[in-house]
Amino acid sequence: MTSDAIKTNTAIYRSHALRGFLLLFLAVFFWGSSAPIGKYLIVTRFDTLIIAQTRTSLTFILLLLFFLLKNRNIFHIELRDVWKFAVLGVVGLSLTNYTYYFTVKEASVATAILVQYSAPVWVVLYSVFVMKEDHLDYVTVISLVVALIGCYFAVTSGSMQNINLKGWAIITGPLSAFTFAYQVLATKQLLKRYPVWTILVYMFGFSAIFWLCINSPWQIAAKQYSAADWSILWMFAIVSILIPQAAFLILGESIGIIQMFGGLLVLGAVGLLEAHPMIMRKMMKVE
């Protein structure tokens, strides 16, 4: 391979790595920041069930309408894979959402985030020791440790007083981490054969069906939610949260130096994982 080709491949890799880093940052940003808003909604006007149900069901409606008009090919799946999408929607999405927000309500935002964000550890351990698809090298270990330390500082400000698992949250907290880990692993396997939008449509679809069996439209109608209530639920389902500062204003919270340090550690760990292949290739050349 010529030097020009090597430079071109390196540039392409860096571009993809940067894009992946930014996308992952946005995903963590919106997912993590939705917890304070979710707790506020649960405490003030909605129960945990309707938050978990509408968050996935309303999203499914939007995805369904969009792809019915835009691209119906994404609905094509093999019959033998239906059960995989069903389990992903019920266990990987519905249970993850419910246990997460239940923990947010019963314990605290910090507790729910910290416990659930241990999921990457279980994903890595499963991939290494069960599936044997990855190798547990020191770069991966360092990244996971740094990420967990970062999560700790980001959500607790360095004080264990903010972490308080109690009551049913002792069960729902760890369960949210395990089901979230399953969601990641199951999605990873399905991505080998299906586009991401196909997976999302069916995952949200089966989640919506599951919730209809638990909480029927008639039961929802009996709650007599106002137009304003539905507007809030739609907004929460679409974006989860507009900007983190909105949550801090509502809850009267702020970001301290230690929390910012924790966030930087998480991002640093993500960046290290993104650069992992390049680091390992350089070390092999040196050796």
Burial of 160 (0-12, 13-18, 19+ CB in 10 A): exposed
Tokens in use for 242? 């507009």
Given a contact cutoff of 8 angstroms between Cβ atoms, the answer to whether 211 and 93 are in contact is no
pLDDT digits (tens, 9 = 90+) for 176-210: 989 988 988 898 899 899 988 899 899 999 999 99
pLDDT digits (tens, 9 = 90+) for 127-168: 777 777 766 777 677 777 776 776 666 555 556 666 677 888
pLDDT digits (tens, 9 = 90+) for 82-103: 999 999 999 999 999 899 999 9
Residue 8's φ and ψ, nearest 5 degrees, are -65, -45
Given a contact cutoff of 8 angstroms between Cβ atoms, the answer to whether 97 and 210 are in contact is no
**Which pTM was predicted?**
0.73
User: Among the ranges 118-122, 223-227, 268-272, 276-280, which has the highest mean pLDDT value?
Assistant: 223-227
Given a contact cutoff of 8 angstroms between Cβ atoms, the answer to whether 40 and 247 are in contact is yes
Q: CB-based contacts of 40: which residues, under 8 Å, 6+ apart? A: 247, 250, 251
Rounded-to-integer distance, Cα 189 and Cα 185, Å = 6
